[in-house]
Structure 1
């Protein structure tokens, strides 16, 4: 039997409801006004359910029902559930990018927990930025919290072919541009590529980040990859509701769960999954919220040591997340890289990571490979540095053609997305497969918000010649479902005067992935001359949240968090009990 650390009188919510004074009387009266009897909440853990459901977020469409399953579990365990809606961040709908609002969600989640009479939280997310946003907020708030992933959608299907959201969108769009697909065929693909609610079923940012959430110990075991429409997902939701009540009694806060080793585990798992490049930005931000100095070097070290063993598109060539779950899911994968993990790290179960994966098995050796039969023995991600990106840039070697691992080519520079989009469709564009397409002013401040523009389209002229990959470089991001020889997250970004701003069309750029080097073949003297001529671009915002974002967002290599939200900013944050 577990030793309960808390008693009803020490619950945080008791400070709202228990005292015999006027203000607490008002709290009780207003709760009764909503139809709740005192016996439903007095002396019980009050559990916030932060729900990112909305009518325009297909990834979270089922959360309208799943929240009731979470509530059922909370009630069964003797807690009192309250649903608190938060910004939904529908990845495919929000412009210019949900990344502009990840920190907004993190702030909202933190303040929802701080300001309400709650003792613990269930975090309902899954669509790309909701996982890091909710976890960043919960880490900073400091209350017991458990994460409920939305789960991936079912496999896509068109005329008997299995489709993967995102990855096959880009592939077939090139065929459409090349004139190889009719409008009727294209509409058929649109209707078959996303055929249930849930997140992208490729190894995109959504599945990468829910795997990260599980590997740092913030979800129930095997929760991260359950298909959204599987009955197991319903059971996981109710079990998460039951578990958070016990976590409150145990005072099992993120601070007691997370360690530097937790985040090192998440990086190793991400590499083995063939993760989204976006994992770098989000894991850095989450770790620094928790007070741990995770950086680009941690990812590069792991990429040299941890093989890619999940055969999931786009790094893999065949399978999708539904296959991964039924092949053994994340516990199965972690069981095959046990020697790369710290198995003593804590989890929301109250047990260690090692205990959680004890007995885990793999049921399909082609979906989850052995380390000896890895898809790639190293190279899920690579961090490159050089005079064009002194603070680093990132690439996904496992999802690009090997001929680009060492390449020198002339730059073709675009200063904004609209001009790039217009130019790549011109038949007279002066471009060859050896060119390196450059898009700049698309970073955290320049985008604004660092949109997913990094998978620049192959120029139509080349697509019609059969070209399907070429080197592309930007200070933006790309979707985790994307693939190709894309160099991303150039830091510092061009908008704030990083060396990337000094590149000109025709300059030669050399890339050497094995050496982790990228170099602009221009003399220091010439770069100094260009620096003297450079003028800052106009401000993106002059008011509101966008202005605040621009004033305080960090660069990509620092996780793009707001400077004033990191743990080392200002005076130490007090415990939640002071609120």
Structure 2
């Protein structure tokens, strides 16, 4: 691979010419204490850092950015840190999904507008991975993704805790009166005890693994625990590698293909992935001009079994165990014909070359293909008159009796009324009901919040019920479990058929047949549609208004229509005059 010359770098346009404008650039960078030796002849590398004081998943990034800089300097580059919106999953309301596309826009414009030749993307908390990658793909510069890594396993009274999954589990016990307030405080203090993302196979671990499987992260990087010394070394290696990628002109366009994204789908299925993988991976693929669809997910789910025995699909292990069992390279080494090994990666080598020496060290954590945790993939796509454009369920994490079920609907139009109802011990509900939450999709939420794991009514909790069918146009946390049907498209807020369901209507769910059906006639459905009244707009100004005008539905990845590759020609390089 031929090496680029310094004069061909983007940053040279800012700093190399002998003119007044470049004088201004050079004098201002010298104002910050740098000398010409710091940048002359060197690639300038942006480090997009999503650290903030209120993002516990990224609390170690303050130090890791220094490790990245060390690697960049070692390889002969010049690092500049550019802060980007942090999107802390726990604290941002109504949902970080409302702002994923804002991060994507920010990442793209940060890279386009600054004198940089390549980028290290520092993320991990759920929406930061797709947001950074979507923006970087659109910007088109060489880039490498640095995953935050999972936190250490939780602990309470000698029990291993998994973030999210055990929060839901023990909250049900608390609601049932089986855990005291003092014990609950112990769970709170023990479930998250280090920097890093959720250590279950939630959205964060799913998406960082997807970043690795499409070739945009170093081999094995996605599952290194955040506070492990290997994570520090990986951060420095990201800095070294991005400098070489700039000289090689190894851009996302040269790495990503449709096969890259199909590989990611296969890996996601084998991992017992978060349902959020569907929306983010579709959006990323459309940015790259290599579109995958719900049909690709469903096809993979029929062929690829779940072999990662990690909560919430598994019962025992967490991401720390997954990493020491061989991590993602180990898992991919077992997928065989389900992967296209010739896809390119940030290493400059193919996926097959990257994993050729990978091993699995614990066959119970990463199962052999002939002894899977679940015989089909983690997700299934259902269609029918309730979801003409599709909806998603995670059958590997729900009670098997709900894979084929017909029951009456119990409908809620908003989250507050649903929350109040489930705490009412006189609620008219049985385990056979199908709870419905609507107006919680991309526009209705707004932003499609993680409300899809509707709480089991306390009346049923006290009877020992721990799962039932729940249906919504919302998302749910990747750490969640249960018989939750999500991402119904089109959403109810725009007049999708979910808006027409009435309490007491019978609904049939048949996961093996990939079918979901409201048991009323087409004439009745049409009559209800004719009488449907659109709700009031959620926003009248600002970012929310722009979001409302341009957000796509869940089956299309919830990107803004004007950011997709198909919308128009790529933006030109900025003028520096």
TM-score of the pair, normalised by structure 1: 0.99
Q: What do residues 102-132 of structure 1 show as CA deviations (whole Å, max 9, x unaligned)?
A: 0000000000000000000000000000000
Q: What is the deviation of 1:265?
A: 0.2
Contact in 2 for aligned 1:178/1:460 (Cα 8 Å): yes
Per the alignment, residue 55 of structure 2 pairs with 57
Q: How far apart in 2 are the matches of 1:381 and 1:440?
A: 21
1:7-46 equivalent positions in 2, closer than 5 A: 7-46=5-44
Does the 8 Å contact 1:46/1:82 carry over to 2? yes
- Distance in 2, matches of 1:263 and 1:364, equals 27
Aligned match of 1:126: 124
Q: Unaligned stretches of 5+ in structure 1?
A: none
Tell me how far apart the structure 1 counterparts of residues 336 and 73 of structure 2 sit (CA, whole Å). Answer: 36
Which residue of the partner structure matches residue 570 of structure 2? 573
Answering whether residue 347 of structure 2 is matched by residue 349 of structure 1, we say: yes
> What is the match of residue 340 of structure 1?
338
1:578–1:255: structure 2 CA closer, same or farther, 3 Å change rule? farther
- Aligned residue for 2:388? 390
SS of equivalent residue, structure 2 residue 221:
coil
Q: How does 1:166-565 map to 2 (within 5 A)?
A: 166-565=164-563
CA distance in 1, matches of 2:563, 2:411: 35
Whether the aligned pair in 1 keeps the contact of 2:147 and 2:222 (CA below 8 Å) is: yes
Structure 1 counterpart SS, 2:565: coil
CA distance in 1, matches of 2:313, 2:342: 30
Q: Distance in 2 between matches of 1:338 and 1:451?
A: 36
Show CA shifts across 1:12-67 (max 9, x none): 00000011111110000000000000110112100000000000000000000000
| Shift in Å, 1:221 | 0.5
Cα contact 2:275–2:394 (8 A) shared by 1: yes
CA contact (8 A) 1:12 1:577 kept: no
What is the CA RMSD across the aligned residues, in angstroms? 0.8
Residue 301 of structure 1 aligns to a residue in which SS? helix
Q: Which residue of 1 aligns with 2:2?
A: 3
SS at match of 1:411: strand
Q: Distance in 2 between matches of 1:484 and 1:397?
A: 8
In structure 2, stretches of 5+ residues that fail to align are: none
Structure 2 Cα separation of the partners of residues 344 and 577 of structure 1: 35
Aligned mates of 2:398, 2:284 — CA distance in 1: 28
Residue 359 of structure 1 and its aligned partner are, at CA, apart by 1.0
Moved over 6 A (4+): none
C-alpha separation in 2, matches of 1:12 and 1:120 = 9
What do residues 509-547 of structure 1 show as CA deviations (whole Å, max 9, x unaligned)? 000000000000011111111111110000000000000
Q: Deviations over 1:470-496 (max 9, x none)?
A: 000000000000000000000000000
SS at match of 2:172: helix
Q: Distance in 2 between matches of 1:203 and 1:566?
A: 29
Q: Secondary structure of the residue that 1:479 maps to in structure 2?
A: coil
1:214-249: CA deviation from partner (whole Å, max 9, x where unpaired): 000001100000000000000000000000000000
In the alignment, which residue of structure 1 is the partner of 2:70?
A: 72
1:140 pairs with 2:138: yes
CA distance in 2, matches of 1:203, 1:573: 35
Verify: 1:111 aligned to 2:104, yes or no.
no
Superposed CA deviations along residues 436-495 of structure 1, whole A, max 9, x for unmatched, are 000000000000000000000000000000000000000000000000000000000000
Counterpart secondary structure, 1:224: helix
User: In 2, distance between residues paired with 1:113 and 1:372?
Assistant: 46
How many corresponding residue pairs? 576
**CA deviation after TM superposition for structure 1 residue 576, in Å:** 4.7
Measure how far apart 1:575 and its partner are. 6.1
Looking at structure 1, the residues matched to 531 and 551 of structure 2 have their Cα atoms a distance apart, in angstroms, of 26
The C-alpha deviation readout for 1:296-318, integer Å capped at 9, x for no partner, is 00000000000000000000111
